[in-house]
């Protein structure tokens, strides 16, 4: 790992990273967000989704997460705009009855796709919060983190 911030130039001024000399490779990133819902909200879980007056929560969150991932460069300063080639959002309950949102993003590019995966998982989790808050505000987006990445200088896989 580098011991310097990549988005600061030699004078400490914010700067976009120059990727012009990097090689084009296939890059994949997977991020996860965990949402804790209370029993009142979970009782509305039917056929793998929570139904609200606004619609099916998980289905809406999937669409929102993909839309968020596609807009990452507009939201995160100095993030390179990329032509993302695939983005998949999966939403499941784990053994602790927490909602697990996983976003996998893929691009063939000179720069990584981690921020897109993290943004996709975050926006999907925020959408779950938004759609369920009418039942209760006792909702916690517990964590959002990078789970894995391939391509570029080094690969990463979270040890679980």
Catalytic residue of the set 9, 18, 49, 130:
130
Distance, CA of 148 to CA of 48 (rounded, Å) = 26
Q: CB within 8 A of 17, min separation 6: which ones?
A: 6, 7, 78, 80, 111
Residue 130 is among the residues annotated as catalytic for this protein: yes
- CA-closest candidate to residue 32, choices 150, 158, 145: 145
Range 43-49, long-range pairs (CB < 8 A, 24+ positions): 44/135, 45/93
Burial grade of 131 (CB within 10 A; 0-12, 13-18, 19 or more): buried
Distance, CA of 71 to CA of 127 (rounded, Å) = 15
Distance, CA of 101 to CA of 142 (rounded, Å) = 11
Helix axis angle for 114-132 and 57-70, nearest 10°, is: 150
| Residues assigned a catalytic role | 130
């Amino acid at each position: 790992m580098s011991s310097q911030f990549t988005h600061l130039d030699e004078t400490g001024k914010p700067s976009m990273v120059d990727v012009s000399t990097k090689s084009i490779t296939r890059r994949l990133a997977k991020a996860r967000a965990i949402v804790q819902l209370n029993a009142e909200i979970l009782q509305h879980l039917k056929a793998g989704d929570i139904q609200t007056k606004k619609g099916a929560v998980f289905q809406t969150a999937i669409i929102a997460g993909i839309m968020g991932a596609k807009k990452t460069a507009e939201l995160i300063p100095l993030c390179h705009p990329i032509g993302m080639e695939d983005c998949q959002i999966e939403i499941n309950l784990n053994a602790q009855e927490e909602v697990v949102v996983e976003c996998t993003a893929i691009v063939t590019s000179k720069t990584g796709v981690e921020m897109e995966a993290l943004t996709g998982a975050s926006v999907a989790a925020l959408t779950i919060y938004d759609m369920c808050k009418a039942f209760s505000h006792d909702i916690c987006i517990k964590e959002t983190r990078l789970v894995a990445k391939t391509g570029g200088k080094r690969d990463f896989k979270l040890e679980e």
